[in-house]
A = this chain, B = another copy of it.
Amino acid sequence: MNISLINIGDELLIGQVVNTNASTMSQRLTSAGMEVQRVVIIPDNGDTIRQTLIDELHRSDAVLVTGGLGPTKDDITKSTIADLFHSTLVESPVALATIRSIFERRHYELTPLNRQQALVPDCCTVIDNQVGTAPCMWFEGETINRALHLPADTRKVLVSMPGVPYEMEWLMEHDVVARLRHYFHTSHIISKNIVVQGIGESFLSDLVEPWELSLPAHLRLAYLPQAGMVKLRLTARGENADTLRHDIQNAVDGLYALAGKYIVGEDCESIPEVVASIFRRRRLTLATAESCTGGFVASRLTALAGCSEYYMGGVVSYSNDVKENTLGVNHDTLLTHGAVSEETARQMAEGVRTRLHADFGTATTGIAGPGGGTPDKPVGTVWIAVAGPQRTVTQLLQLGDDRQRTIERTTNALLSLLVKEATM
Asked whether any CB of chain B lies closer than 8 Å to the CB of A334, the reply is: no
Contact, CB under 8 Å: B325 / A355: yes
Q: Please name all residues of chain B whose beta carbon is closer than 8 Å to the beta carbon of A269 when the two chains form the complex.
A: 16
Contact, CB under 8 Å: A111 / B206: yes
Can you name 16 A-B residue pairings with CB atoms under 8 Å?
A13-B38, A16-B27, A40-B41, A70-B225, A72-B205, A73-B212, A111-B202, A114-B202, A164-B225, A290-B298, A294-B302, A296-B302, A302-B407, A303-B403, A308-B319, A313-B318
What 0/1 pattern do residues 84 to 105 of A give for CB contact below 8 A with B? 0000000000000000000000
Contact, CB under 8 Å: B321 / A312: yes
Q: Please name all residues of chain B whose beta carbon is closer than 8 Å to the beta carbon of A316 when the two chains form the complex.
A: 288, 295, 298, 302, 313-316
Asked whether any CB of chain B lies closer than 8 Å to the CB of A395, the reply is: no
Contact, CB under 8 Å: A305 / B403: yes
Contacts A38-B42, A299-B295; A16 near B224 (Cβ below 8 A): yes
Task: List 6 A-B pairs, minimum CB-CB distance, nearest first.
Answer: A294-B302, A295-B298, A15-B27, A15-B26, A295-B295, A39-B41
Contact, CB under 8 Å: B407 / A72: no
Q: Give the complex CA separation of A125 and B414 in angstroms.
A: 39
Contact, CB under 8 Å: B201 / A370: no
What 0/1 pattern do residues 1 to 40 of A give for CB contact below 8 A with B? 0000000001111111111101111111110000111111
Q: Give the complex CA separation of A74 and B200 in angstroms.
A: 16
Closest CB in chain B relative to A294 CB, distance in Å: 3
Q: Please name all residues of chain B whose beta carbon is closer than 8 Å to the beta carbon of A111 when the two chains form the complex.
A: 202-203, 206
Q: Give the complex CA separation of A405 and B25 in angstroms.
A: 16
Which of these, B13, B25, B39, B290, contacts A36 with CB under 8 Å?
B13
Report the copy number of this chain in the oligomer: 2
What 0/1 pattern do residues 385 to 423 of A give for CB contact below 8 A with B? 000000000000000001111010000000000000000
Known: A14-B222, A15-B24, A294-B311. 18 other contacts (CB 8 A): A10-B222, A14-B191, A15-B26, A15-B27, A18-B23, A19-B19, A19-B23, A70-B201, A113-B205, A290-B298, A293-B299, A294-B299, A294-B307, A295-B296, A302-B318, A307-B318, A308-B319, A326-B356
Q: Please name all residues of chain B whose beta carbon is closer than 8 Å to the beta carbon of A14 when the two chains form the complex.
A: 26-27, 30, 36, 191, 222, 233, 235
Q: Give the complex CA separation of A225 and B17 in angstroms.
A: 10
Contacts A13-B37, A18-B18, A322-B356; A113 near B295 (Cβ below 8 A): no
Q: Give the complex CA separation of A307 and B14 in angstroms.
A: 27
Q: Is the interface of A mostly helix, strand, loop or mixed?
A: mixed
Contact, CB under 8 Å: B295 / A314: yes
Closest CB in chain B relative to A375 CB, distance in Å: 20
Asked whether any CB of chain B lies closer than 8 Å to the CB of A71, the reply is: yes
Q: Give the complex CA separation of A315 and B318 in angstroms.
A: 11
Asked whether any CB of chain B lies closer than 8 Å to the CB of A317, the reply is: yes
Asked whether any CB of chain B lies closer than 8 Å to the CB of A223, the reply is: yes
Q: Please name all residues of chain B whose beta carbon is closer than 8 Å to the beta carbon of A403 when the two chains form the complex.
A: 303, 305
Q: Please name all residues of chain B whose beta carbon is closer than 8 Å to the beta carbon of A28 when the two chains form the complex.
A: 15
Closest CB in chain B relative to A175 CB, distance in Å: 17
Q: Give the complex CA separation of A322 and B312 in angstroms.
A: 7
Contact, CB under 8 Å: A166 / B72: no
Contacts A38-B41, A108-B200, A356-B326; A308 near B318 (Cβ below 8 A): yes
With a 10 A CB-CB cut-off, give which of A16, A35, A325 has the most chain B CB atoms.
Answer: A16
Asked whether any CB of chain B lies closer than 8 Å to the CB of A81, the reply is: no
